[in-house]
Amino acid sequence: MSTITSIDSIHALHARLGDKPRHPLLTVLDMAQLPQPTAAYSVRLGLYGIVSKQFDGVLGYGRGQYDFQAGTLLFTAPNQVLTTSAEGHIKEGWGIYFHPDLLRGTELGRKIEQYRFFYYDSHEALHVSDEENRILRQCVDHLRRECALPIDAHTQGVLVSQLELLMQYCNRFYARQFITRAPTNSDLLQFERLLKSYFTGDTLAEHGLPSVAYLAGKLRVSAAYLTDVLHKTTGKTTQEYIHLELVERAKALLWGTDKRVSEIAYALGFAYPSHFTKLFKTKTGQSPRDFRQGQ
């Protein structure tokens, strides 16, 4: 197993590259000009990264691998681990890396986690068209030029606004990708079967309600990507699917058994019946008791 190198600042990143950054909290790199690795290595970055590149070879990302022969965008949040093989060769591309401190006190800093693609897995990277890539390059060029200017009272605001514009474009392009690469009917059927089998088996009573991460893991996608793709294609998030299946199962137990509401709550994985009652009423407009009496 290779040693994992930690890089927690823009200065440390540039020290590895043998130069100095133009701005202490953000840098724009020409990926094709970076030194090519002579051996496989792993690095944990304490930075956000947005990287566009055409890459001959395989890049390890978390637990998965991705073939970067096509032009794609990969997003990384702080403290994720990247692994690169010595056989890989970057043909072209750019990379933006910025420290979380750049966003401190800004609106983007308060909502950065809304840009959920920073938590997607490698095989869920954004594939961009030539025109989309040109649009993103304009934002990248603005960031590069701003980094080259002397820092003043406006620097942070300009950098952050350009970053957010770029992220908004990425949201738009992902929305397009969710449509053009939407899950097939068999994919959705697999998800629904997985969810139903969880609720009808013994797992529910033993382990409680399934988490989004559990379902995503079974389908071999990230939790963030599963929720986003379901919402874009069906209008429902993964959590909403879980709650809908829960309510249908609860209705069947209320209609078809004489179990007390508390027994049903425990059977459905709730530690506290009051939590079950609150959720059921939120989704149906009735308490479980009222629902049973009105059938």
- Residue for token digits 């990302």? 61
Q: Is the pLDDT of residue 16 over 90?
A: no
What is 185-293's CATH number? 1.10.10.60
* Model confidence pLDDT, tens digit, residues 119-139: 887 677 888 888 888 999 999
pTM: 0.67
Calculate mean pLDDT across residues 211-227.
Answer: 87
> Rounded to whole angstroms, how far apart are CA atoms 36 and 238?
41
> Any idea where the domains of the chain sit in the sequence?
4-180, 185-293
- Looking at residue 273, the DSSP 8-state letter turns out to be H
Q: Is the pLDDT of residue 163 over 90?
A: yes
> Which of the residue ranges 21-35, 69-83, 177-191, 219-233 would you say has the lowest mean pLDDT?
177-191
Q: Is the pLDDT of residue 86 over 70?
A: no
> Which of the residue ranges 51-65, 224-238, 256-270 would you say has the lowest mean pLDDT?
51-65
CB-based contact 244:236 (threshold 8 Å):
yes
Calculate mean pLDDT across residues 152-180.
Answer: 91
CB-based contact 155:146 (threshold 8 Å):
yes
Q: Can you give the pLDDT at residue 1?
A: 47
Calculate mean pLDDT across residues 104-120.
Answer: 91
User: What count of Cα atoms within 13 Å lies in the side-chain half-sphere of residue 27?
Assistant: 18
> Rounded to whole angstroms, how far apart are CA atoms 166 and 108?
12
Q: Can you give the pLDDT at residue 155?
A: 96
> Which of the residue ranges 39-53, 77-91, 150-164, 233-247 would you say has the lowest mean pLDDT?
77-91
89: left (phi over 0), alpha (psi -120 to 50) or beta: beta
Q: Helix axis angle, 223-234 relative to 212-219, nearest 10°?
A: 90
CB-based contact 118:48 (threshold 8 Å):
yes
How many percent of the chain have pLDDT more than 70? 84
Q: What is 4-180's CATH superfamily?
A: Regulatory protein AraC (2.60.120.280)
> Which of the residue ranges 89-93, 191-195, 213-217 would you say has the lowest mean pLDDT?
89-93
